[in-house]
Chains A and B, each alone.
Chain A
């Protein structure tokens, strides 16, 4: 398998706090990778560095073979890396379908100033956008202001509008955070389905059941550096990981696992 997304020795400090301290991770094409770690271990900062929202002090980000370090967020998005945010960042006073259309134009080639004013510039995206809303299950809300959606629905909308630009890699920041169990299952189903269609995922998540059930490979960050990396079964039983992050519950779970 080829590595699709890779960071190499990323360092990032905020004042005296070293948020990332040489974080090196890689995500193979067509996999669902997990990124876990205690609060403040640098997961979201690493997402921000990859997607251009933050500049690293040191280190490189590669998408395929191409270095994309310090590329602006829109360039990273247009190149094929979509992301969602821990606290969803939708456009609350636009309708759900309008949110989708904003994201849809990322891959449009510029067609001159006058094309901005035409309504047609959007319509060819509308069908695709509606299909994706149906895929995540919120098509009935297409013409509702997105600010009136529930938190879980906002998560789904954000996922849908990242998908509308058809990225190769999707970075999800706590997709299950603050979401009810039924919806969590729905979200993981959708991720599996997209993955089977060839999409690559990198997921930050605190819900261990969700991560362990979904991800083929898990990287553990601690104090801004990689503490461990491997398949879920190995991570579950890794002593350092258990000490640093997972705590006793999972240790017991791991011991209860049938041999």
Chain B
């Protein structure tokens, strides 16, 4: 029995390792195989969203605190790069050296925001993050000498040939995506990640057991904000400009939350999958004027949200893996009780699906 289990877990691991390797090869080879800039553009945006959704997931997915203010970091990163490049007269590829600074700006903004917002829980937290978002958008509109007001900022121009212009951006975005996934994975298996997930389940109880809840939540919020700001800066350099309504875009927050929920809220693979499905779809719809362009896109996003809520509320990856477990065990219980002491209610109390969602009380 245990040998069989070991064998099947070894097979699982081999499959997972092989799958991961294949994904990495595909991701690296993508712009070499599809050289058309219209296609590599999809790749750049897909990687940008993989990174920001994974970053969102590090904080919100683990802690259960749904942030709808990630655009604060995304826009601030973009503006930080634009302002620094403008004021320090930086040009060409040297502008990329500003990325760590943009990350530091994101982290520096996350600290005071977190100290205020993380005092409250659940719905109140969501509302406060939305309020922060609007404050930042208003500041971008109104601090004209600093942010360029409603006309925004332009990035330094890169004299790269148009045919391969997207490729370096693709690899930078891919590096951020891969790095964020790696950080998310490290956090998931660490003590820090476990404390975050304990906070999600019962924050007061976790505190009672010695978890320094504020410190843990704030650290995750800062990590998430710093990554999002750096990716925002890459996005800004890629599209060459930022305006208040594009840098601080409410749809950005809704989109990343939708991506995370579609793929599987709290799951690392889910964040990636959600971004890889939604972002190319959105871009394609935007490029189809005969389908109504942008407006159809928004209607479709709303429809996807409804479908997710109605049919796969836990997201594709958790629901999918549950189906796979069901198929494999074919009706037998996945875990054989090792003790006979359990009450008959053990079977009735069900599986993880019966666990109520929502973290903090």
Contact = CB atoms under 8 A, between A and B. Distances in A.
Contacts of B198: 91, 94, 98, 102
B190 A118 contact: yes
A96 B267 CA distance: 19
B339 A137 contact: yes
Interface residues of B, number: 40
Interface stretch (A10-18, A32-40, A149-157): A149-157
A119 B189 contact: yes
B342 A116 contact: no
Interface string B164-202: 000000000000000000000011011110110110111
A186 interface: yes
B208 A51 contact: yes
A192 interface: no
Contacts of B356: 92
Interface residues of A, number: 50
B343 A152 contact: yes
Given A91-B202, A145-B355, A150-B345, A121 B207 contact: no
Contacts of B200: 93
B194 A117 contact: no
B341 interface: yes
A102 B339 contact: no
Contact of B205 (A89, A101, A105, A152): A89
Contacts, number: 135
Contacts of A139: 338
Given A78-B210, A91-B197, A151 B343 contact: yes
Interface string A134-145: 000111110011
A147 interface: yes
A116 to B, nearest CB: 4
Interface stretch (B36-44, B72-80, B280-288, B346-354): B346-354
- Centre residue among B191, B201, B352 by max chain A CB count within 10 A: B191
A7 B349 CA distance: 38
A53 interface: yes
Contacts of B207: 72-74
Contacts of B350: 148
Given A91-B202, A182-B341, A183-B341, A147 B352 contact: yes
Contacts of B304: none
Interface string A96-124: 00100111011100000101111101100
A113 B195 CA distance: 13
Interface in B185-240: 186-187, 189-192, 194-195, 197-198, 200-202, 204-211, 216, 219
B219 A77 contact: no
B352 A73 contact: no
A48 to B, nearest CB: 11
Given A147-B354, A150-B343, A153-B346, A93 B190 contact: no
Given A73-B208, A102-B211, A117-B192, 18 more contacts: A52-B208, A53-B204, A89-B202, A93-B352, A94-B201, A103-B209, A105-B195, A105-B209, A113-B219, A116-B190, A139-B338, A140-B337, A141-B337, A148-B351, A148-B352, A150-B343, A151-B349, A153-B342
Interface of B: 186-187, 189-192, 194-195, 197-198, 200-202, 204-211, 216, 219, 335-339, 341-343, 345-346, 349-352, 354-356
22 contacts: A51-B208, A74-B209, A74-B211, A89-B202, A91-B205, A93-B197, A93-B352, A115-B191, A118-B191, A119-B189, A121-B190, A122-B191, A140-B339, A148-B349, A149-B346, A150-B346, A150-B349, A152-B343, A153-B339, A165-B210, A183-B341, A186-B341
7 closest residue pairs by CB, A with B: A140-B338, A73-B208, A147-B355, A106-B210, A150-B346, A116-B192, A91-B201
